[in-house]
Structure 1
């Protein structure tokens, strides 16, 4: 399985019990959660009927500046 296939599979698995993954620290009120996949972070929001993937970012990136600009 290629890395991209693994990443897609990890995203698809979020349909089952997405709440098991933590809310983003210091930004819990946003409702955004994250899942680690290798060196990458999958950021998502749990809606009433679906899980919405917001971003997939390399762990070395400053995700707070991307997801929450102007809040630091």
Structure 2
């Protein structure tokens, strides 16, 4: 589990946060680019150098795209 840090800009904490894990043959950067084309934006939540990328949908709901995992 990855803790969700409190952010001063948010009114309330999210009750649910999705983590998307690309299949082993997919690349994280390819999935992030696809999601950005669909309207997602990268979000800096202060995690620094991590293996996941935080994005937000057009309504501001945050989610993570993890590095590929072996099945």
Which bin holds the TM-score, normalised by the shorter protein?
A: 0.3 to 0.5
Q: Higher relative CO (CA 8 A, sep ≥ 6), structure 1 or 2?
A: 2
Using the size of structure 1 for normalisation, the TM-score is 0.34
Q: Which structure has greater helix proportion?
A: 1
